[in-house]
């Protein structure tokens, strides 16, 4: 039996701009993504077996523990790729809010691929891990790589850019509002007017000059769904300089805010920081 504990960080989108819609139904984007110090943890255990079985468990009833979970799909894809069978058990400790625009499911799937590769003595190189990640979703490659990333295409084409190391962070999420990427992108596609502010390029130029990036924070998907949800409007009213991450419903502000006047319908996560890594090992055990 081999066991590994994997640390899977969340991400935020400092910018998220829609370039166009693709023939495959996805959208091409330009986004600067940043990994942050909010983590899910995976305990992955493998044993040799003549037939594959994948068993999931965790600390929340808000996600499925079956073939619909991206962790399950990642496990199956990995075994098929290396042509192995095994008994896999994975315990998912969820701390990243769900359906929140923070890549919680994506980082767990990327962590699964990375962790299984370690447990099977690294049969796949890093470029191969990225290929598997790209098959499963748009944010997995960013989570695997970590740090500060420029993501293009549908999000799977990534380029590491200079790390922004001085930023503190506060997250604000409506507890009872989750927004799917499908909903957000569909509403954007239905918008007659689609702004083109080129905030990603402006932020990249500011980063090269070591200038303040706060005026370039922007999200096209916030524009797409903002008018439909009073909860989002409430956040923006209280904290005007906050920005939505991903497809929402989480907002972030680049500051440690000590007192935020929201009621219990909102989850506040304080004292977070930008981090310069992605998936990594917490502990490795061989028996």
Hey, which residues does 55 pair with through a beta bridge? 89
In the residue annotation, 270 being an active-site residue is answered as no
- Nearest 10 degrees: Cα torsion 8, 58, 69, 18: -40
Exposure of 277 in the CB half-sphere (CA atoms within 13 A): 10
Cβ within 8 Å of residue 174, ≥6 positions away:
229, 231, 232, 235, 249, 265, 266, 267
CA angle in degrees (0–180, nearest 5) for 254-257-259: 160
End-to-end Cα distance, the chain: 5
**H or E element at residue 74:** helix 70-82
SS3 content of the chain, % helix, strand, coil (to 5): 30, 35, 35
Angle between helix 104-119 and helix 70-82 axes, rounded to 10 deg: 30
Q: Pick the catalytic residue from 40, 43, 108, 139.
A: 139
* 204 closest CA partner among 156, 141, 148: 148
Length of the chain: 287
Catalytic residue among 2, 11, 30, 173: 11
Q: Computed from CA positions of residues 61, 62, 64, 69, in that sequence, does the dihedral angle turn out positive or negative?
A: negative
Residue 80's H or E segment, with its range, is: helix 70-82
- Give the pairing type, strands 218-219 and 2-21: parallel
Q: Is 21 a catalytic residue?
A: no
Catalytic residue list: 11, 139
């Amino acid at each position: 039996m081999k066991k590994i504990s994997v640390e899977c960080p969340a991400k935020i989108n400092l910018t998220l701009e829609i370039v166009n819609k693709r023939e495959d139904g996805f959208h091409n984007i330009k986004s600067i993504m940043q990994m942050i110090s909010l983590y899910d943890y995976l305990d992955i255990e493998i044993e040799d077996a003549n037939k594959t079985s994948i068993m999931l468990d965790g600390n929340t009833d808000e996600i499925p523990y079956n073939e619909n979970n991206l962790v399950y799909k990642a496990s199956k894809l990995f075994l098929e790729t290396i042509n192995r069978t095994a008994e896999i058990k994975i315990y998912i400790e969820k701390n990243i809010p769900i359906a929140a625009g923070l890549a919680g499911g994506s980082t767990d799937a990327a962590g699964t691929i990375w962790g299984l590769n370690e447990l099977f003595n690294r049969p796949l190189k890093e470029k191969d891990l990225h290929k598997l990640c790209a098959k499963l979703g748009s944010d997995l490659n960013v989570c695997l790589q970590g740090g500060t990333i420029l993501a293009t295409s549908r999000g799977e084409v990534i380029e590491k850019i200079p790390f922004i190391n001085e930023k503190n962070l506060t997250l604000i999420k409506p507890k009872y509002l989750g927004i799917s990427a499908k909903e957000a992108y569909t509403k954007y596609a239905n918008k007659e007017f689609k702004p083109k502010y080129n905030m990603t390029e402006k932020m990249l130029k500011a980063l090269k000059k070591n200038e303040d990036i706060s005026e370039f924070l922007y999200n096209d998907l916030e524009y797409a769904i903002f008018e439909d949800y009073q909860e989002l409007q409430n956040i923006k009213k209280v904290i005007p300089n906050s920005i939505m991450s991903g497809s929402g419903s989480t907002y972030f502000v680049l500051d440690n805010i000590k007192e935020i006047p929201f009621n219990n319908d909102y989850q506040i996560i304080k004292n977070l920081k930008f981090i310069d890594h992605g998936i990594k090992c917490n502990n490795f055990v061989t028996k």
